[in-house]
Amino acid sequence: MAERQSKRRYHSPQRQQQAERTRRQILDAARRLFAARGYTATTLPAIAEEAGVAAPTVTAVFGTKVALLHALIQMGVRGNAGQAPLVQQPWWQDMLAEPDPRQLLRWFAGINRQIQQRSADIYEITRGAATAEPEIAQLLQAQAVRRRDDTRSVAEALAQRGAVDREESLDRTADILWGLSSASTYRLFVAECNWSGDQYEEWLASALINSCLVDRPTSSAG
């Protein structure tokens, strides 16, 4: 009995790794097909075929196409950092603990750049699908609310350091962070104006420092 239990424990990591590989194959396949065909025209059987798995496997792992899209959004925001909310990720907490407000905002700009680079195409897919499917519109709205909460945590960290003008409300600081770091703003500069990721990150950090902090620098130098 003990030997059988030991064998089950020994093989468990392999099964877990295989399950994660299968999950990632499905997500990557869905991302390609959503981008090529659009969300509405892409079916779960087509995703299964693209991923090289059986159709029931996709349903077993994700359940519905909406749930699969939601998983893609989460992967874009968090990368490979697990299922915990963004504000609970160690690297987000490290940013919030940064004592220098300017450095905190530079750190936030770098994190936002990474998120946008991972998820800009997913955002466009979701926004396109939302025009035809109310459930996707609700998903997009929920994601906007979560992102608003995430940026508010940055505004609160700045306020705790006395770095935000007392005449400006915490909500307004959060609004500025939320608006300037949006996917639409990233797409405007990077996709339409052909800015590099470095140029976008440098601009975002400078814009946030000049817009949010009490002691605003006279130049955009870091």
Residues 215 and 133 both lie in one domain? yes
Average of pLDDT values for 49-75?
A: 92
Residues spanned by the domain of 11: 1-63
Confidence check: pLDDT of 147 > 50: yes
Q: How far apart are CA 207 and CA 201, in angstroms?
A: 10
Strand-pair partners of 215: none
pLDDT of residue 80: 65
Whether pLDDT at 106 is above 60: yes
Name which of 65-69, 163-167, 189-193 the model is least confident about.
Answer: 163-167
What are the φ/ψ torsions at residue 182 (nearest 5 degrees)?
Answer: -70, 160
Res 54 pLDDT > 90: yes
Assess if residue 68 is contained within a domain: no
Q: 128 and 207: one domain?
A: yes
pLDDT (mean) for 26-35:
92
Q: Are 53 and 92 in a shared domain? A: no
In terms of average pLDDT, the best of 65-74, 106-115, 212-221 is: 106-115
pLDDT at residue 219 is higher than 70? no
Estimate the share of the chain in helix, then strand, then coil, as percent rounded to the nearest 5.
Answer: 75, 0, 25
Domain-embedded: residue 69: no
**What does the pLDDT average to over 28-37?**
92
196 domain residue, yes or no: yes
User: Is the confidence at residue 220, as pLDDT, over 50?
Assistant: no
| Residue 41: Cβ-neighbour burial (10 angstroms; 0-12, 13-18, 19+) | exposed
Q: Are 119 and 183 in contact (CB under 8 A)?
A: yes
Residue 195 is predicted with a pLDDT of 97
Closest CA to 187 of 129, 121, 140: 121
| Residue 98 and residue 58 share a domain | no
- Look at the chain and report how many structural domains it folds into: 2
Among 33-42, 108-117, 166-175, whose mean pLDDT is lowest?
A: 166-175
What mean pLDDT is reported for the chain?
A: 86
